[in-house]
Every structure is written in structure tokens, then in C-alpha cells.
Amino acid sequence: MKNKWNSSEAKKYISHYKKKKISKELALRIYTTHLLGREKDLVLHGGGNTSLKTSKKNIFKQNINVMHIKGSGWDMGSIDYPGMPAVELDPLLKTSKLTRLNDFQMVNLQRKCLVNSQAPNPSVETLLHAFLPFKYVDHTHASAILGLIDQPNDLEVCKAVFSDQVGIVPYIIPGFDLAKLSYKIFSKDQNVIGLILLKHGIFTFGNSAKESYDRMIKLVTIAEKKINKASNKILPKKLKSKNIKPQIVNDLFPLIRKYLSKKEKNGSDAKWVLDLRTNDKILKYLNNPNLKDFSQRGPVTPDHVIRIKPKPLMLNIKHARVKNLDNIVRREIETFKKNYHKYFLRNRKYVSKPIELDTNPRLILSPGLGLIGIGRSKKEAKIASDLAEVTVDVISKAESIGKYKSIPEKEIFKVEYWPLEQAKLKKLKRLSLTGHVTVISGGCGTIGLAIAREFIREGSEIVLLENNTYNIKNTPQEIKKIAIIIKCDVTNQLDVRKALAEIIRTYGGVDVLVSNAGAAWQGEIGRVPEKVIKDSFDLNFYAHQYLSQESIKIMLKQSTGGILLYNISKQSVNPGINFGPYGLPKASTLFLMRQYALEYGQYGIRANGINADRIRSGILNDKLISSRARSRKVSKKDYMSGNLLKTEVLAEDVAKAFVTLAKAKKTTGNVMTVDGGNISAVLR
Ligand code: ZN
């Protein structure tokens, strides 16, 4: 592993933090925490932790010993000083004299010791850091180390590879007992530069940030060299077997979502999002004839279990026909759920009053296709597949030098149901549309973006379909970070089909369609050229139909209902002069919405629409507002607020109305007006 310490980078950290009145030693602590946290072969997603011991003046002007320690669940790659809270060190050190300290007492003491009472909870490994008498302590779950120590003969391997450079700590669950045991082992030979925690990870320490970091890289490199000497027995040089046609996901993923969402006894019918990972390395791993054996032996380091469960689900569909997929997916997911329940019953005696977690898998291994991460959001699904990629790496290393072995099932259960591990997941938001995939056409225009913002606020995943490259380019970063944008001409059925296939591949399916794209064609109805009307029908009617048809196909496969929402227009019921070419297809779209409500209500699919009027947007731009105002002989302001409530209606109002309709579980076939009140446009 490359040592990435760079003196000029280090200096930059020092001067950057100096401006924030942060000490040089804490700046360097943050620097090497970033170096470690940005190396995915060392730690991922909240794993690992680092600390710094120093002193501070308290309010009584006394010098006290403190330790900065990573907050529980913070990500090392992006951590900043608020994630490295300071705790008073001396009370923590006193606990080394105790023979027992339960989790509640430990967490309570750690919180009491916080210098800033508002700071996040210090890491569950705080005491271990506190006991080691070094200024800097670093802890990672390095893949090369795990490959080496996840073995039946871990102790001998460690001794042979590292000789007396490290202390070796047998596996126990993190907390007070592990801290005491680690210190005891360190005390026996204080010349060691690190501790190997069997089946868990590695600690290094030093009196400078650089020393502790250098030692981490040194020990990881020794492990890498040892592993690289062995030929890889799991991943052959060439990928031999034929892979599954990628189109299979169009049928497979909606079915996976169907059986994940199936109501459980506790009434949960939550929606789930998928994340497919595939590359040569993954496919080689999945092709191995012994996959069923080594992939089921447990997590490569204990804290992965809260993200990916004790075991992944195996889904072999290499020789399956499409018509049999439903049966196969149902059988495999049901079996997984049953087995998870049995695992809970077998092990619940080891934890005080555990409540069973949902029984769904978090990871599917599908030979010929790839790894499928599963989560209540795309972010959680990606975490699962990130950890799965590390698992592929560690297990293939471990199997190449010996035999991969995880901790016993009982210990896996204790970590999975440990309240301090579960606390890391409590921060995950669960909102009314969490797990939903919402597709918005005309997504990067004024109204589309407003709709996106409102649906993001409700926790939904967002896909924006947009054909205007200028709009795509100018979509704000804050939306781009969350949503995916697909360039799509919604008046072209093939384009729509392709876009929906891409959405399935990215998220697993579709739950909400907001068919929003539209444009206003004008012309005196007795003279308007045929092409104008036809063009308007293409976008203002046919595009809605294409999107609905393709979405319905997916929704029916998922069997979890669905929501179709249309941006219609008040023109659909209240024609305006010279707006015939716009109003005609909009009236048809109103009818289209009702037709979908009628024919698909039996499947729990709801269809509703919005009749909005005079919304400032790409369609109703300043130029058009001026011309409409002039033709009515009123000012622009009066034109925009020319309604019963005398107030301008904004894109946000339309967006909020769409969310209201999405959440109205007993409403279908409805048109909601968002026009500030217009008695001639009221529906009868
Ligand atoms: Zn750890």
C-alpha cells in the first residue's frame, strides 16, 4: 500500500485549521484520518476510528488531559473537527481498574466526559484508544489484514507474518472488555507498533500523526506482500463462463422489489431500492463453483453485519426462463426470510430483549449478473454493495492463502443486535416517500425542479427526464447530487422505453411518475396549420401516454401499487382564445388520467392530475407574460395574480400539490386545481 503522507499537504491542513483556531496536532489528526478514510482498502462507511491525546484549559484555567476521538458512525474520509469531539481522559483511564462496566455505564461515562456536552457520541472503541499510552492511535479494517486473519489458524499466521512487531488480541465484541484485553496484551510487550484484533482489524499508534500512519501502512503492506505471493484461487485470470443478458434486469428487478416489499407480520410494506454492481472481478468471484460455501460464512469484519446481514442471498438464474423468474425470486426471498427468522430465534438468548429486525436480505449474489445491494434508499443500497465489493476482495484473499473463516454465529448476532451498533442506523431518515422511485418528465425545467425538490424533501429517489441540454447543464448542483438525469425525448416511444430500462437498472423500478413535460402551442383554431396541432399532441398527449404505458408495465410487475400524476392544465376544461392547439391535447390528457384511474385502480395504482394556471416557467416566460397581459389590457403583475385569491401561483405551489396527491392514499381519478381560484375553470 502506498504511503500517501505528503509534507506540503500536511502543511496545508495546518494552515487551513489555524484560521479556525484549531491546533496543529488536531489538524494533522484530521489529515491522516482523511488519508486512511479515503483508502477503500482500509475502511468504509463509518468503520474504523482515530484519536489524539492532548491537553486543554478548562473554565477554571486548569490544564486537563483530553482525547479527541472519532464520533460514532462518522466517516473517516470526510470527517471534520466537529466529528472529533474531545473527552476528558483521566476519568476514562480510571475505568481500567474496574473489573466490570456495562454498555450503559460506558456510554454514559463517555458522554459525561465530553468537553462539549452537545458533541456527538464518542466511538464505541473510545476506551481502547484511551488505554493505549500514545498521542496518536489509528484503527482500520484493512482488507489485506482481514484476508490474512480471517482464518482458522489466525494466531499462527499472524505470528509468522508479523513476528514480534504486533500484539495479537483474540476476538471479542468491542467495548470495555476488548479495551481491557487489548491493553493487557499491549502491556506484555510495549515495543510493539500495533495490535492485530483477530477477525476484526488493526490498531497502530505513535507519538506523531505521521508515525502512527506510517506504521499502519507498513503493517498493511507486509500483509499485502504475503497475500500477493499466493496465487489467487478464487479469481481465475480469465473470465470463462458466459454472462446473463443484461436485459434480464427489466424483469428481475421489479420482481425482487415485489417480494422485498411483501407485507410482513409486523405490517411493514416498505419500498426498497437496489444497486447493481458488476465487473470482471465480481463476475469471476460469482462464477466460482464453491461460492455457495465460502460466501455464506459470515462478515469479513463484525460491524459490516448491520449493513449487509450475516449472509447474502444466493440467486442463481443463469438457466432460468423469464416466465419462471417470479417463482424463483419468491422462493429464494421467502427462504431467506425464514432462515433469518430461525437465526434470530436460535441466538436471541445472547442479547437482552432483542426485537427482531426486518428479515429482508441486504445483498444478493447472482452469478453471471453481479452483486445487488439492497437498502431503504439508494444511499443504503450503495453502502451494501460497497461492503460487498470489499467482501469479494477479502474472501478471495483469505481463500487463496488458506480457508476463509468469520466469527461464530453467536458473535455475529451479538454485534448485529448490539444497541450501540444499531444506534448508528437510527440516524437514517425514514420519510413518507422513502424507498420510492419518482420519475419526473420535463424534470430540469422550472416546475420539474420544484417538483424534484418537494419529492426529495419527502425522502424519494429522483429521476429527471429532460430533453433540453441547456436545462440539463443548468440544473443546480444540490439536485444533481441527489437525482439522476436522463436525456430523453418523451415524444419518442423508443427513447422513453430506453430511459425506463435505465431507471430499472439504476434503482430497481418505478413507484411514482410525474408526467410533467409540456409546451404551449398557440394558433387560431380555424386557421392553425395541422403540424402545430400534431406537434402539440405529440408532447401534450402522446408523451403522457408513452410514459404511463411504460411505467404501468413496471408497476404491475412490482405489484406494490403505483402513482401516476399528470400536469394537465386549466386549458383542459376552460379554453383560452388562440390556445386551441394547447388545450385540445390537454383535454385528452385529462381523459387519459381518468382512463388509467379506471383500469388500474384494481392494482392499487392511482392516477391524478393538477390543473394549474399562469405559472412562471420556461413555457410561460417573461415574453409570453407581457403578450398575454397586453392582450387583456392589464399589467404583468395583475395578469399573474388575476385570480380569485389575487395572488401569483408559483411552481412550488404546483409541486406541493403533486406531493399531496402522491400521499393521498384513497384518492384516484382526481383533478386538483392550483390556479389561485378561477370560477370558469372549476370542475363540475
Ligand atoms: Zn473496528
Q: What is the pLDDT of residues 102-115, one digit of tens each?
A: 989 999 999 999 99
CA of 216 to the centre of ligand 1 (A): 14
Q: Which CATH number does the domain housing residue 398 bear?
A: 3.40.225.10
242, part of any domain: no
**Count of CA atoms in the C-beta half-sphere (13 A) of 350:** 17
Domain boundary among 202, 229, 256: 229
Residue bearing cell 473470465: 239
CA of 303 to the centre of ligand 1 (A): 7
Sign of CA dihedral 83, 88, 91, 96: positive
CA of 47 to the centre of ligand 1 (A): 6
C-alpha cell at 58: 478548562
Domain identity same for 281 and 402: yes
Domain identity same for 142 and 278: no
The number of beta carbons lying within 10 Å of the beta carbon of residue 411 is 19
- CA pair distance 286, 86, nearest whole angstrom: 45
Domain identity same for 470 and 549: yes
253, part of any domain: yes
Residue 619, pLDDT score: 75
Domain identity same for 212 and 146: yes
CA of 43 to the centre of ligand 1 (A): 9
426, part of any domain: no
Which positions ≥6 away from 528 have C-beta within 8 Å? Answer: 580, 581
- CA pair distance 661, 672, nearest whole angstrom: 8
Q: Which CATH number does the domain housing residue 466 bear?
A: 3.40.50.720
Domain identity same for 262 and 351: yes
CA of 110 to the centre of ligand 1 (A): 18
CA of 302 to the centre of ligand 1 (A): 8
**What's the DSSP call for residue 527?**
T
Cβ proximity of 516 and 441 under 8 Å: yes
CA of 69 to the centre of ligand 1 (A): 13
CA of 201 to the centre of ligand 1 (A): 6
CA of 33 to the centre of ligand 1 (A): 14
Alpha carbon distances (Å) from 542 to 121, 491, 515, 537: 55, 7, 11, 6
Domain identity same for 224 and 253: no
Query: Which range of residues forms the domain containing residue 484?
Result: 437-617+648-675
**What's the DSSP call for residue 539?**
I
CA of 181 to the centre of ligand 1 (A): 15
98, part of any domain: yes
Alpha carbon distances (Å) from 464 to 261, 452, 486, 537: 24, 8, 6, 22
Nearest to 199 by CA among 237, 255, 156, 154: 154
How many structural domains comprise the chain? 3
Domain identity same for 328 and 208: no
Domain identity same for 26 and 60: yes
CA of 153 to the centre of ligand 1 (A): 21
Q: Considering the entire predicted model, what is its pTM?
A: 0.93
Domain identity same for 196 and 257: no
Q: What is the pLDDT of residues 44-59, one digit of tens each?
A: 877 889 999 999 988 8
Residue 44, pLDDT score: 80
**Count of CA atoms in the C-beta half-sphere (13 A) of 606:** 18
CA of 132 to the centre of ligand 1 (A): 15
pLDDT at 91 over 80: yes
Domain identity same for 411 and 445: no
Q: Which of 411-420, 531-540, 586-595 has the lowest mean pLDDT?
A: 411-420
**What's the DSSP call for residue 542?**
I
The pLDDT confidence band at residue 262, using thresholds 50, 70 and 90, is confident
CA of 251 to the centre of ligand 1 (A): 39
As a whole number, mean pLDDT of residues 384-403 equals 94
Cβ proximity of 588 and 542 under 8 Å: no
CA of 185 to the centre of ligand 1 (A): 17
CA of 345 to the centre of ligand 1 (A): 27
Domain identity same for 62 and 201: yes
CA of 4 to the centre of ligand 1 (A): 22
Residue type, 6: N
As a whole number, mean pLDDT of residues 190-211 equals 95
Identify the three-state secondary structure at position 283: helix
Cβ proximity of 361 and 312 under 8 Å: yes
CA of 114 to the centre of ligand 1 (A): 21
CA of 205 to the centre of ligand 1 (A): 15
CA of 46 to the centre of ligand 1 (A): 10
